[in-house]
Amino acid sequence: MRLRSIFGLMILLLVSAVAILALWPTKPRLPPRPAPTAPLRASLTIAPPDEALTFARYHDGSGLRTMAVRRYQDGVVTGVDLAPLMQPGEDAIALYNRLGYGAVAAFIDAGKPSLSHDAATLTVPVDLRGVHAAAATNYPEHANEAKVEDGPFMFAKVAQPTAPRAAVPAIEGLLDYEVELCLVTLTPLPAAGGARGGLILCNDITDRAALLRGADVSDITSGEGFTDGKSGRGFLPVGDLLVIPRDLKAFVTPLELNLAVNGQARQQTRVTQWIWDLDRLLIETAKRKDAVWTWREGQARLPISAAGILPDRTLVLAGTPAGTVFQGPGPSTVVRGTLDWLAGLGQRNFVQSVIERAIADDKATGAYLQPGDVVTIRVDRMGTLENRVAPQGAP
């Protein structure tokens, strides 16, 4: 009789603990959102031409013009007009491929920095493709916050890059940001030959709700759901500068990624805190050349041929550090999802019940990006982005 009483008490305590955990308020991890700040007027160090070539592009009355940037001060870029070097229809990549590093660097070094433009007027610095290779959980602290243990891994991101000051469309899901350094292939690039090319900043915009709903929770590293959650119109703003270093590895080493929302710092990490470096990212991309992901617009593959060659003008997104809004589902979310499943008499898949509870709890925090929020990215020697979240339906 006494044993039965003790057992009953234990069950009561367990049920009480579960109830308390389930009812425990889900609080946003991030501090209260500040009001949007004034437009970004950044000052950056620009590498000299003997270390890296730095290009920007802008519209004038006759079309797109390319300049070599020598100074970036208080939101104004100053540099050398490259029109005398360029042939009709060329951009910085075509110019570089035709003349080579030395000739372009010599022209910039001898030229007078006669052009000045507001950085807010700069557009995508070169023409880029619409399918890219991206790394997930390539920074340990982000893998920890996302509760992914078996990464990193590669997936396909399908998005046409947009301008550094382009708006990001608001969505019904969970809109998140990710600052990333991206390799730009300048020519067809064999994955086995090591990383070479240019660099650009990217804001890897993500719908966490779509990602969660599509993910294979039994094998996250399959990449299922990632193309859906990270692809679409306006989901890939890129930086205002294309940088082609003379020595890629040496140039990358001191870079520090910085992202803020409404002026509040969210992400700040040295680039080289990554798990896989650029060489390894190419190798891992080649390993998945046969992978196919089904997403809302059809099927997607990594941009790499059967021979292991990435096409020119492709981005390789190197992953994001800790500080995203998203955190993997916690214990209270799992308990709440379990109770939802029980309340529905098991009519919905158990895993889906937990996922829908995670999405609902995350929405309730109000921590994800909302219309009017401004995401700013600033990386010395690499450039800036400033992306405002536009209301749904805005042009």
**Does pLDDT of 204 surpass 90?**
yes
Q: In this predicted model, which residue has the larger pLDDT, 256 or 329? A: 256
**Distance, first Cα to last Cα, the chain:** 72
Q: Is residue 186 within 8 Å of 97, Cβ to Cβ?
A: yes
Q: Tell me, what amino acid is at 368?
A: Y
What pLDDT sits at residue 30?
A: 59
Structure tokens at 358: 């995670």
What pLDDT sits at residue 25?
A: 45
CA dihedral 214, 217, 219, 223 (to 10 degrees): 30
**Does pLDDT of 381 surpass 90?**
yes
What pLDDT sits at residue 27?
A: 46
Query: pLDDT digit string (tens) for 215-259?
Result: 999 999 999 999 999 999 999 999 999 999 999 999 999 999 999
Q: Is residue 126 within 8 Å of 92, Cβ to Cβ?
A: yes
What band does 343 get if pLDDT is binned at 50, 70 and 90?
confident
Q: Is residue 122 within 8 Å of 77, Cβ to Cβ?
A: yes
Query: pLDDT digit string (tens) for 173-184?
Result: 999 999 999 999
* Choice among 243-247, 333-337, 359-363, 364-368 with the minimum mean pLDDT: 333-337
Domain parsing of the chain, residue ranges: 52-121, 131-390
Burial class (CB in 10 A: 0-12, 13-18, 19+), 317: buried
Give the mean pLDDT of 122-140: 98
Average pLDDT over all residues of the chain? 91
What pLDDT sits at residue 349?
A: 86
Give the mean pLDDT of 320-325: 98
Give the mean pLDDT of 67-92: 98
What band does 395 get if pLDDT is binned at 50, 70 and 90?
low
| Residue owning tokens 């730095």 | 54
Residue 313 and residue 185: Cα distance in Å, rounded?
A: 5
**Does pLDDT of 393 surpass 90?**
no
From the list 282, 279, 320, the residue with the least C-alpha distance to 303 is 282
What pLDDT sits at residue 32?
A: 66
Percent of the chain with pLDDT over 70: 90
Residue 333 and residue 394: Cα distance in Å, rounded?
A: 34
Q: In this predicted model, which residue has the larger pLDDT, 256 or 340? A: 256
CA distance to 145, 286, 374, per residue, from 209 (Å) = 16, 29, 21
Query: pLDDT digit string (tens) for 17-44?
Result: 344 344 444 444 555 667 666 678 999 9
Burial class (CB in 10 A: 0-12, 13-18, 19+), 172: exposed
Residue 146 and residue 260: Cα distance in Å, rounded?
A: 19
Tell me which CATH code domain 131-390 carries: 3.90.850.10
